[in-house]
Structure 1
Amino acid sequence: MIMEAARAAASRLFTAEFRSVFFKTLGLTLLALVALWFGLNELFGVVAQPWIDAVLPGFPSWAGWLGLAAAIVAGIGLALGLALLIAPVTAIVAGLFLDDVAEVVERNDYPRDRPGSPVPAFRATVLSLKFFGVVVVGNIIALFLLLIPGVNIAAFFLVNGYLLGREFFEFAAMRFRPEAEAKALRRKHAGTVFLAGLVISAFLAVPLLNLLTPLFAAAMMVHLHKMISASDPEFSEPASAMQRAA
């Protein structure tokens, strides 16, 4: 079930409809990252300059070897910071387009099913911000655990697998169910959702390809939600008019 959902999602990633969503997501993500770069650069200057003045009073601002050393440190620090922020920034930007992804999957792969309802704009924004926070916290935890040999790689996959699986599955389910019911369905099938989240975290671990993670995850969880609903009588979706007439 999980690998079938992953295969179906991957097969859609480079179709024309998905490319449209991807380019919108990529464009906004790059703009956000550029803005973050300049913001972090300014913040570094504000924080570092008083320290330099305190250590070497009267030393010309950002001059000589100290300026060169500071520039190198700043460049490395900003590059690392930006690399860590790529996934969360992509997540919050893509969160604005997840309904577009779900609609493409539902329309093309489940034309006879009742279409899902887009999450209201305000609620979608709240969920995007929540998901952004979840991804940031998860990756900070994973970053600290990277310092522990034998735990680091497993921590990255376990933390992101749980968080990504939970958030994206609930998003897919909420297109068809109230939020409380979506959460109940996720809890009932927590093991399956977690394993699907591990597949998403593996996708996230691949440089550059990770920019597609939210789109892949949204499509995969639409498929997984459909499969779980079809196999669970307690949470089955209502039949569409076309299905009843067939």
Structure 2
Amino acid sequence: MLFHAALLALRQVFSPAFRKILWKSLGLTVVLLAVLWASIRWFFTYLLANHSLTAQYPTIDWYIVLVSSIGLFLLFIYLLPAITAVVASFFIDDAASIVEQSDFPTDAPGTPAPLVQSTLSGIRFAVLSLIVNLFALALFFLPVINLVVFFVANAYLLGREYFELSASRFMPAKQAAALRKKNSLAVFNAGCLMAFLLMIPILNLLTPLFGIALMVHVHKKLNHQISYQP
């Protein structure tokens, strides 16, 4: 069921109906990354311009720039989950609506969450993801442990957040959380697919839309097995 849902989600990401949202999602992600990159580079440049060591040893600038650039690249890998959470909060309802209409046409459509609520939810998740991934980054010099922590933590966080975002279109947030907890293994396994995509350069930019499409399918499958009272 899960791999079939993943294939359907990938098909949706590249479908004509998703194309407009895809470009908007990629554009917003790139803008956020560019702003973050420029801000951090400015900070490093400011430190270099005001550090006495570079005045005494001018050639050290090149090494510091090289090391800081590598560090920025690694930092971005760990910041991407938080950025995708913010991006997803803007497109969850449009993307989920397309998946529901195309793959579940006989089901009642979901109810979009208010923009403020979805944005706050995205920011909350982004902060939590940032804390967890910075902790994983702190374990950088423990390679195997670092990768395990990064993968497992993001599989859990991404699975939980995207599933509850999808489920909340059909039920109150507390019931969505209860459904997720009751099916925690299935949701975690779906999160593993998202975490795996997150680790692939370039393709990881598709994580928000893939996650939304995937979790619509996962939620539909699980919710057909369990009914909640309104």
TM-score (norm 1): 0.85
* Structure with greater Cα Rg: 1
Q: Is the alpha carbon distance of 1:41 and 1:151 closer, same or farther for their aligned partners in structure 2, counting shifts above 3 Å?
A: closer
Confirm whether residue 187 of structure 1 aligns to residue 181 of structure 2.
Answer: yes
Q: Following superposition of structure 1 onto structure 2, how do residues 14-93 of structure 1 map, counting pairs within 5 Å? A: 14-50=14-50, 52-53=51-52, 55=53, 59=55, 64-93=58-87
1:145 and 1:223 map into 2 onto residues whose CA distance is: 35
Moved more, 131-140 or 208-217: 131-140
Deviation of 1:169 after TM superposition, in Å, equals 0.6
Moved more, 75-84 or 210-219: 75-84
1:99 and 1:43 map into 2 onto residues whose CA distance is: 36
Aligned to 1:213: 207
Contact 1:161–1:199 (CA under 8 A) maintained in structure 2: yes
Q: Is the alpha carbon distance of 1:82 and 1:152 closer, same or farther for their aligned partners in structure 2, counting shifts above 3 Å?
A: closer
SS of alignment partner, residue 20 of structure 1? helix
SS of alignment partner, residue 17 of structure 1? helix
Aligned to 1:243: none
Confirm whether residue 102 of structure 1 aligns to residue 92 of structure 2.
Answer: no
SS of alignment partner, residue 59 of structure 2? helix
- Unaligned runs of 5+ residues in structure 1 are 239-246
Aligned length: 230
TM-score (norm 2): 0.90
Aligned to 1:148: 142
2:177 and 2:218 map into 1 onto residues whose CA distance is: 15
1:81 and 1:196 map into 2 onto residues whose CA distance is: 25
Deviation of 1:223 after TM superposition, in Å, equals 0.6
Aligned to 2:118: 124
Deviation of 1:86 after TM superposition, in Å, equals 3.4
- RMSD of aligned residue pairs (Cα, Å): 2.2
Aligned to 2:228: 235
Contact 2:198–2:204 (CA under 8 A) maintained in structure 1: yes
SS of alignment partner, residue 102 of structure 2? helix
Contact 2:87–2:208 (CA under 8 A) maintained in structure 1: no
**1:92-146: per-residue Cα shift (whole Å, max 9, x none)?**
1232111111001001111111100111111011011012123222322332344
Equivalent of 2:160 in 166, 178, 189: 166
Q: Which residue identity does 1:195 align to in structure 2?
A: N
Equivalent of 1:113 in 99, 103, 107: 107
Identical columns (%): 38
Where has structure 1 moved over 6 Å in runs of 4 or more? none
1:166 and 1:79 map into 2 onto residues whose CA distance is: 27
1:141 and 1:69 map into 2 onto residues whose CA distance is: 26
Aligned to 1:241: none
Deviation of 1:216 after TM superposition, in Å, equals 0.7
Q: Is the alpha carbon distance of 1:71 and 1:148 closer, same or farther for their aligned partners in structure 2, counting shifts above 3 Å?
A: closer
